[in-house]
C-alpha cells in the first residue's frame, strides 16, 4: 500500500457518519446491507449517505453490488487489513517483540 492510498482510507474513516457506516458493515459482514437499511439504522438523509458511501468505496473500504432496485454494500476486509498492515509495518525496526505492549497486526 502506498502512503497516499492509506491517507485516502484514513480520511474516509475520519468522519463520524462514515466511521459508523463502516463499523455497521463490519458487524454485518459478510452479507452487508442495502443503502436503504443503512440510512434507516443511522438516520441519515439519502444524499448524505450516498456521498459517504461513495467516499468509502473510492477508498477501497466498501464494495457494492446492484441487486435490482437496491444497492448492497459490504465492508472490504482486504482494504482494512491492508490499512492496518500499513500502520504497523516494520514496527521497532523489524523487531516487534520489543514493543510493550505488543502491536496488533
Partner DNA sequence: TTAATATTTCCATATTATTAGAAATATGGA
Partner DNA sequence: TCCATATTTCTAATAATATGGAAATATTAA
Applying the rule CB under 8 A, the residues between 24 and 63 that interact with a copy of itself are: 26-30
Residue 68 and residue 34: Cα distance in Å, rounded?
11
Judge whether 12 and 56 are in contact, CB under 8 Å: yes
- Sorted by sequence, the CB contacts under 8 Å of residue 6 that are 6+ apart come out as 83, 86, 87
34-93: which residues touch DNA (CB under 7 A)?
34-36, 39, 44-55, 64, 66, 68-71
Q: Residues 2 to 31: which contact a copy of itself by CB under 8 A?
A: 3-4, 6-7, 10-11, 13-16, 19-20, 22-23, 26-30
Grid cell in block for residue 64? 457494492
State the residues that interact with a copy of itself by CB under 8 A: 3-4, 6-7, 10-11, 13-16, 19-20, 22-23, 26-30, 77-78, 80-81, 84-93, 98-105
Amino acid at each position: 500500500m502506498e502512503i497516499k492510498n492509506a491517507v485516502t482510507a484514513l480520511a474516509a474513516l475520519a468522519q463520524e457518519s462514515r466511521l459508523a457506516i463502516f463499523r455497521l458493515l463490519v458487524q454485518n459482514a459478510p452479507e452487508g446491507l442495502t443503502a436503504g437499511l443503512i440510512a434507516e439504522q443511522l438516520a441519515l438523509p439519502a444524499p448524505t449517505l450516498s456521498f459517504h458511501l461513495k467516499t468509502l468505496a473510492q477508498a477501497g473500504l466498501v464494495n457494492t453490488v446492484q441487486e435490482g432496485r437496491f444497492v448492497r454494500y459490504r465492508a472490504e476486509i482486504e482494504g482494512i487489513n491492508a490499512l492496518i498492515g500499513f500502520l504497523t509495518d516494520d514496527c521497532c525496526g523489524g523487531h516487534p517483540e520489543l514493543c510493550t505492549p505488543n502491536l496488533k497486526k
